Chain A
Amino acid sequence: MLYFYHFPFKQILIAMFLLPILLPPTVLGFYLLYIFSPSSTVGGLYKHITNKTLSFSSEGLLLASLIYSIPLAFFPLWEAVKNINVRWIEIAHVFGYSRIETFFKVILPNIKGYIISASALVFANTMGEFGVVLMVGGDIPGKTRTISIYIYDAVQSLDY
């Protein structure tokens, strides 16, 4: 949608998507920790709905990792959508296919390779991420300890 529709401040919105890659992971982690805390609007709303805290939880960790990885997924997906010819979409509409049907029958089959590569990048990045994960997750054994933090802890205690 971001690619096909033109609206005011589109470039600013794109820059916002790319912002996580410009911030040091620990700084981004700190901001996310602040946003996820029960005293903030987002964290408070999450606690109100689920009766759980978003910070220092595996859900919060997952969300933070996704936010941190958005720029990595953004470029392959942007490139994928650039390769979609608008005419294919128009042909589908003219032949009676709704927007949703067009997405699944025309757009998705033509970008699936890019989606796989974006997913692989996000997965690899999330597995190796340290700063954001440590700040938001807090290295709680059995709950928010990830492989990279586990390795770090092992090295710190000379257990290798």
Chain B
Amino acid sequence: MERGKLLHLRAEKKKGKFRLDINLKIEKGFNIILGPSGCGKTTTLRIISGLEGADRGFLYCCGRVLFDTEKNIFIPPQKRRVALVFQDNNLLPHLSVRENIEFALKKSDNPLDLNGMAEKFGIKEIMDRFPHQISGGEKQRVALLRGIISNPDILLMDEPFSSLDFDTKYIIMRMLKEETDFDIPVIIVTHDPVEAYFLGERVFFMKDGRITEEGNRETIKEKFKDLLHFQ
């Protein structure tokens, strides 16, 4: 793996007619995978998290081999130290907000102060409520906090803001940028160039199962200038 890169994924996978063939080198901080629906973004995250296997390839992260098909190595998701935030249905309905967060803490060794973090994320007042008693934006904040507080080696987010209205999305994205300082690779997949522009330090453009281009905020600005100007 190259110096300075924390995660290197090389994966090939065939799913019916769809073929994923990806080579991704990721650094710490925000990395965005931007592409249209069905291009393989979610499959990529699922392969990194171990929820799906690849037909061929390898994944190295922070000095660990998470899978290598040639060496017949496959570390299960339980042992990968990965946190995953989905678009929705992140919270367990039978647990309160506090219990949902503690659910992730039970298996981690994070000394972070839960109450302090909850205050930072604006969810201190709802800690004793259940998921059906809070809004969509609050649910995503809880899911994000749970992901961060579990002290993962990789934080993965699958379209985490796409079910939120624009204002809520903007508030949470700003909070994520300003209130957190990630020393780990954070990979966010999205189809929304505005989200990618706002969060992205590095951006990977994906199409038909392949990374077609690598860039940064300036690249997005150039590619989607009309849309970003309008927004």
Contact = CB atoms under 8 A, between A and B. Distances in A.
Interface of A: 85, 87-88, 90-98, 105-106, 109-110
A96 B84 contact: no
Interface in B54-110: 76-80, 82-84, 86, 89-90, 92-94, 103-104, 107-108
B51 interface: yes
A91 B84 contact: yes
B78 A90 contact: no
B145 to A, nearest CB: 13
Interface in B19-75: 49-51
Given A109-B94, A110-B93, A110-B94, A96 B86 contact: no
Contacts of A91: 84, 86, 90, 92
3 tightest CB-CB pairs across the interface, nearest first? A96-B107, A109-B94, A93-B77
Contacts, number: 49
A141 to B, nearest CB: 47
B150 interface: yes
A92 B50 CA distance: 13
6 contacts: A87-B90, A94-B51, A94-B83, A95-B83, A95-B150, A96-B78
B89 A88 contact: yes
Contacts of A85: 89
B92 A95 contact: no
A118 B89 CA distance: 27
**Does more than half of chain A's interface fall in helix, strand or loop, or is it mixed?**
helix
Contact of A90 (B51, B79, B94): B51
Contact of B84 (A94, A97, A98, A109): A94
A110 B91 CA distance: 13
Contacts of A95: 83, 103-104, 107-108, 150
Contacts of B78: 93-94, 96-98
A87 B94 contact: no
Contacts of B104: 95
Contacts of B103: 92, 95, 105
Contact of B92 (A93, A94, A98, A106): A106
Contacts of B77: 90, 93-94
Interface string B118-152: 00000000000000000000000000000000100
B83 A93 contact: no
Nearest to B88: A87
B92 A88 contact: yes
Contacts of B76: 93
A27 to B, nearest CB: 42
Interface in B136-178: 150
B82 to A, nearest CB: 6
Most buried by A among B50, B83, B107: B107
A94 B93 contact: no
A131 B104 CA distance: 52
Given A90-B51, A95-B103, A105-B103, 4 more contacts: A93-B51, A94-B80, A95-B83, A110-B94
Nearest to B104: A95
